[in-house]
Amino acid sequence: MKPKIWIAGALTLAVVAGGGLLATKVFLGAKSDDAVHLVPADAGAYLNLFVRPSNAQKMALEDFLAKFPQLGDSFEDARDALIDVLDPELAKIGLEFEADVDPWLGDQIAFYVMPPEVDVSQSGEGEFDLAPVTQPDVAAIISVKDDDAAQDAVDKVLASEDLEAEGASYEGTDYLLVPQDDVDVAVGFLEDFMILGTEPALKLSVDAFRGDSLDESNAYEAAVGGFADDQLATMYFDTESLVAATVDASAIPTEDRAGMAGLAESGPIAVALHVRSDAAVLEASIGLPDDPALLDIVDGFAGEGAGRILDSLPSDTWFAFGVPQLGRAVSGLVASIEGASPTVGSDELSEAFESQTGLDLQEDVLSWMGSTGLFVQGTIVRDLGGALVIESSDADKTDAVVARIREAVDSEDPTSAQDFEAGGLTGFSVALPPPAAPIFVMGGDRAVIAYGERALNDALAPASALGDSDQFSQAIDGLGDGYEPTFYFDLTAIPKLVQAFTVFGGDPGPSYESDVKPVLESLDYAVVGSKREDETLLQRFVIGVQDGEE
C-alpha cells in the first residue's frame, strides 16, 4: 500500500506544482505583440506600445514609480496624469477618455509606416530635381475589447466633425472610408483590432493578416529576437527601405549617394523598453554591416574588453567610458568618412592631419592605440579631476606623439610646459591659473592625459578600483549576462555637482529644490553595455533607481 500512497502523493504534488506554474505564467507572463500580425512584412517603421502592460510589468512599474513619490504613488496615479493630458486633445474630436475610449480600449496600440514611393527625375548631368514623393501609407492598429463600443466612438467623432463616411469592403473585411482633402481615412475592424489609416494601409493590413506579415520576416525576428520577453514598447526600423526612399527623394547626385547607402548596410534597427522594480531598461539592436570600415567602428568601440577597462579605473569615478580598441575604431571612422562622404575625398582627412602635425595619422598615431579608458572624479570643485588612459603597443611612437603635443604647447607659450616623470612615464605638465589644476601629458607604454595630480596618480595606479565598488557591481549585474559595459555614470554625483557649482555663483533656479532635486536624488546609476549575437549587435542602457529606504 505504501508505494501506492507515495505515487498518489507524487502525482498530487506534480499537479499542484504544474497548476502553480501555469497560474504564475498566466498572472505574471509576458504579453504577446498581436498587432504585428497585421503589419506588412515590408513596413519601413513599426511601433508597438502596451497601454495595459502585463501584470509583471505593471508590478515593476508600481515599484519603480514608488521611488519617485513626486510623480505619484502608483501606476494608476501615472495613468490618471496621462489621461489629464489626453482629455483636452480628445475633447477636440468630441470624446472623453473614461467614457468613450477606456471601455473598449484593449492592451496595445501600434503604428506602422510604409516606405514612400518616389519618382526621381534628372534635369541635367549631375543635377536632380526634387522628386515628387507620395504620401506614405500609415496605419494605427488599436487593440479592441468591444467592437460595438469602439464603433460608437468612431461614429461620435464623425458626428462631432460633421464628416460623411462611405461603406466599403476588401477581402471580406468591411470598413468605412472618410473622404478628406489630402488623404482619405479608412476605419475597419479585424481580429480584435481597429485599423485606422490610409485605405491602402488598411488593405495591406488585411493582406498581412492572411500571410506575409512583419512577424514572419527574418529581418524583424533577428532585430527583436535578443530582447527581453516582456516589454512596454518596441520600435523597429527597416533602414534599407527608409534610406533608399530618402536618397531617391532628394536632390543628391548618383555619385554622391554611397554615403547614405552605407547606412542601409547595417541592417534593421530595433529598440525596446521595459522596467524592473529597480531600473528602466532600454534595449537596442542593429545588424552588423559587411563593410570592413563599419565593422572596425563597431568592434573597436563595442568589442570585448571594455568591462576590464572600466573595472581598473579609480573607485571614486563617477563618469567612465571604455573603448576596447581605440585605434581600430578611429581608423574605421576615418575610412568610412573618406570612402563615403561626398565632400571628403579619399585620404583627405589623413593628409590634412599630416600637414598640420607632421605625423602620419595611421602609422604614427592610430597604429599603437589599444584599450582606452576615460574617467572623471571629484564632486567638489577643488577635487574635480579626470584622465584619459590609452594602452600603447609601441612606446617610441607614443613618446613621439607626446613630443609633438609639447611642441604645439611651446609654440603658444614657451614657458608654460615643464618636464614631468611619474610611474615610469615621461612627459610634461602645464600649470593653469588657480583654482584650476595642472594638466599632465605623459607617454611610454601608455599615453595619459590627466587633469589634476590626484587623477594622474589614480590613472597610473589607483588605490582601489571601480570594479570593487558595490554600486558599479550592481550596475554591471543590471546589464545582464554577456553584456560588456562601455559607459558608467554614478547619478548620485549630480546633486553634489549642482551644489558644488552653486557655491561658485551658479543658480539652478527656484524650481530646482522642489521639482528637480527630488527626482535626481532618486536616481542611482546609468550604464551602457553591448554584446554580439550572431550577426547582430545588442546594446542595453540601464538607469537604476535607489531603494528609497536608504
CA of residue 19 relative to chain centroid, distance: 39
H or E stretch covering 176: strand 173-178
Residue 258, H or E segment: helix 258-264
Q: Which residue has the cell 494601409?
A: 201
Q: What is the pLDDT of residue 548?
A: 59
**Residue 269 and residue 288 in contact, taking contact as beta carbons nearer than 8 Å:** no
Paired residues of 451 in beta bridges: 386, 439
In a 3-state reduction of DSSP, which class is residue 549? coil
Q: Using alpha carbons, select from 443, 463, 467 the residue that is nearest to residue 455.
A: 463
| pLDDT tens profile 39-55 | 999 999 999 999 999 99
pLDDT at 182: 80
**Nearest in space to 442 (alpha carbons), one of 401, 409, 408:** 401
Burial string for 387-422 (b: 16+ CB within 10 Å, else e) reads: bbbbbbeebebbbbbbeebbeeeeeeeeeebeebeb
272 burial type by CB count under 10 A (0-12 exposed, 13-18 middle, 19+ buried):
buried
Residues of the chain with pLDDT under 50: 1-26, 120, 122-130, 132, 249-251, 253-256, 550
> What tens digit of pLDDT does each residue of 152-197 get?
999 999 999 999 999 999 999 999 999 887 889 999 999 999 999 9
Distance CA 498, CA 458 (A): 24
- Grid cell for residue 474: 550592481
Residue of 413, 407, 456 whose CA lies nearest to 433: 413
Cα–Cα distance, 111 to 54 (Å, whole number): 20
The predicted pLDDT at position 245 comes to 62
